[in-house]
Amino acid sequence: MERKKIQDRLPPPGTVRREVLWSLSSIFIFSVCSTFVYQLIKAGQTNLYFKWNEQGWLYFVISPLICIILHDTYYYWMHRVMHSQYLFRYFHRVHHLSVTPTPWAIYSFQPLEAFFTFLSFALIIVYLPIHPVAFGIYMLISLVNNIGGHTGYELLPAWFAKHRILKYATVVTFHDMHHTNLKHNFGAYFNIWDRIMNTVHKDYEKKFLAVTGAKNENAEK
């Protein structure tokens, strides 16, 4: 796996401990907020539905993808705002203490970031018709994607960045570069908003090809 490592350095001592402690703080905030959402569900004040065929099977299948698209848009702009000069230290500084992140960093947030991260999931339940199973699938995808982006190792092949469709999805290298380049690569699932807003790091593809062992191919091109 070492040849797939994105950064040459290792996380400094104490990184995992700090990430775990902040993550526990975030999980506590998620739990408190979830209690309020649960009360909304009990009161019928959300768009959660429980009959499999209520919205049709096609909608059930695509609803996790709809959630991902909505979440990606929410996350990109929330992320950009958190990086603004006046808000960064109150919202997002703690997460970026992990310059060389580990998977434990996925919820290493300050309280305000934890709240607004949870809010994206709560808004989906309140306003988008969705079955609990479909929502669970979406949450699982979100979790795996978030963990993957903080592993520090690129697992996808070099051709992924050249595929006419898949090149618009984020990879581990994409988010890892954000931890070392704070003004670039803000997307969560896709890099479409980054491309539109010109925030993709100029060396992203070069770095991805190098990490995936395509150095010679990249040099020839």
Please give the C-alpha separations between residue 43 and each of 39, 46, 98, 120, 136, in angstroms, as whole numbers: 6, 8, 40, 20, 21
Q: Has residue 29 been placed in a domain?
A: yes
pLDDT score at 215:
52
> What pLDDT, on the 0 to 100 scale, is given for residue 161?
85
**Is residue 18 in a domain?**
yes
- Asked if residue 116 belongs to a domain, the reply is yes
* In a domain? residue 107: yes
162 and 137 both lie in a single domain: no
Same domain, 15 and 107: yes
Q: Is residue 1 in some structural domain?
A: no
The span from the CA of 200 to the CA of 96, in Å, is 18
pLDDT on residue 213: 82
Q: Is residue 164 part of a domain?
A: yes
Q: Provide the residue range defining the domain that includes 211.
A: 153-221
Long-range contacts of 31-37 (CB under 8 A, 24+ apart): 33/115, 33/118, 33/119, 33/122, 34/118, 37/122, 37/125, 37/126
- Total domain count, the chain: 2
23 and 125 fall within a common domain: yes
| Low-confidence residues of the chain: pLDDT under 70 | 214-221
